[in-house]
Structure 1
Amino acid sequence: MKIGVPKEIKNNESRVGMTPAGVFELTKNNHIVFVQSTAGDGSGFFDEDYRNVGAIIVKSIEEVYSLSEMIIKVKEPIAEEYPQIKPHHILFTYFHFASSEELTVAMLKSKAVCIAYETVEDTDGSLPLLTPMSEVAGRMAIQQGAKYLEKPIKGRGVLLGGVPGVPPGRVLVLGAGVVGVQAAKMAAGLGAHVTILDTNMKRLRYVNDVMPSHVVTEFSSEYNIRQHIKDHDLIIGGVLIKGSKAPKLITREMLKEMRPGTVIVDVAVDQGGCFETTVPTTHENPTYIIDDVIHYCVANMPGAVPYTSTMALTNVTLPYVLLLANLGWENACENDKSLAKGLNIVHGKCVYKEIIDAFDWSENHLVAEI
């Protein structure tokens, strides 16, 4: 199969869809891999590294799309890429369709096959291709939140770990999934007091077992959230409903209950955000302030640490890429039910129920109906 790895063109996105090690495995299996020149530079992988493992370096993104049958990316295509996507293409990337009707409609009109990393699902309900980026984002949420708590950037002026004689900062984590657990682990490591909320008691029991005593678990309810936002310095939103929009757990009016300089980090921004006031931001302009509350809502947080993120992503995507390349998408999805759950759009039809529900579409939503 002819496989293309374009350069990511989303704002400040330095990751790349495949490492040279991944390309080596593909060429070893007699596939042809086209890599756009400088696509890997931001992650520390250079054209010569790809050439050395058998990739063909091409100059433009247009060449990558025109020469390839399958496109391996990190982030969803943006508007200027839409015209490049044709019916014969298989796109394998993060899409997060439920948060963007414009993107969903564009991919329906392209009639390409769109397989979303974030909905590939193992038999135990875990999301193997989302997990590594959730791990990165959960850890980064604390790193970024701690920075924006500093007074020069309008934060409360709180050191999360405190010092002898001064109590540590307080961190509220909404959601005890992968993001929430990683955020709690990082915050606890800094010495902060952590409260983690979830409605899943099984997850709360797990967190209670593995975390130190200064990480406290509580059942998530609107009442509990309203109580905790009054005295916590940093709030992390890490809730996820597979393939669907995130629920809005903190409303605009609730911001008035927070102390000035509180920082909120919405890791669920790719799925529409779990704060009512969430607006996607970029690494270039990562924050904004509403009611004296600092919002950090960067939609591609792991893009700030592209070497780590690209390595972690290729580790988990490569087996599926090889399966798709070796068997074709239909046989691959027939043979691997986890991969089949990644199918979101197939030749002009939306086949993932949560996306249909997100936009109140009919079950047979076709391009002709748009």
Structure 2
Amino acid sequence: MNAFFAAIEERDNPQFVGRPIIVGADPKKGVGRGVVSTGNYKAREYGIHSGMPISWAYRACPEGVFLPCDFKRYGSVSRNIFSVIRGYGYPTEQVSVDECYVEMPNCAGFENLAREMKQKIWEVERLTCSVGIGPNKLVSKVASNFKKPDGLTIVLKKDVQRFLDPMSVRVLPGVGPKTAGVLLSMGVITVKDLRQTYLYKLKEQFGKHGAHLWELANGRDDRKVFESHEVKSVGRQTTFWKDTKDPRIIYDTTLGLLRETFEELTGLGIFGKTLTVVVRYAWFETHTSQETSKGLLTFQEARRLGLKLLVPYFNNKLVRLVGVRVSGFGGGGVRSHSPEEGVSGAATSLV
């Protein structure tokens, strides 16, 4: 879906149409804690993006419309949309409240099918979505972001490299501002540059992640579409504007992400038992720690566990990214309710 939370707010509050809309924590006139959940396309013109500290967003656009998250409403809209998509009967892997992969049929009419899905979503919820069709998850995901909002991009297998090559390396999953900065220092700007870089150089710089980046640059992704009817995990992560070793900054940021996560869980009507904390150091070494409670996690319990899991990382080492994820929804966690030319086995990403 396109700027999902902000799009719902703009749809339901027509007086805000045309203005920057930022959904997230209370900015408190620039001194608030917490992060941006999403901003509409007007807000993005000011450099505002998901995961940004809300205080920075306020400084960037004090005249913007700042709204609290209403995850109950967003969850209801999400369920309606996925009901439309699953109504077609094709394997659907839901990866978040507003994104999924669909295994498309081997037929000549897959473009018309995608357009029909978009139209039905519009009729049901008056919201637009962007669709990417490609031979694997990577290509379909990049294609879905190629034309926003309300886009439809189809990439045949024979055209994958021609499609990816001229793009910035930032389109590849796992390439954020800092990774892109390191690649730039190596003379790598585009996907083609990355593809033509010697693999050993990428491994020297990034370790295993370097090999993964090289595979992505070559358009390779062997992940399958696994049919799922519920979100398997809900979480947030953010990259610090400047690497930090300050325990207070690390904890406060993680707590803000955790609060956002629980607000979304509440809106979706699901609660999990497992909390995972993700910490990535300045040199790209990533660690995850998790703990599972006997019962469904409350925010207070998750806050306690989060601090416990974070303490080992208060070690005077520079941290570039933190994240949290809640999973383990099964068993009572829900309180409510070979790809040939571009078609066979193609993955469709709807976002």
Q: TM-score range by the shorter chain?
A: under 0.3
Q: 1 or 2 for the larger relative contact order (CA 8 Å, sep ≥6)? A: 2
TM-score normalised to structure 1 length: 0.23
Normalising by structure 2, report the TM-score.
0.24
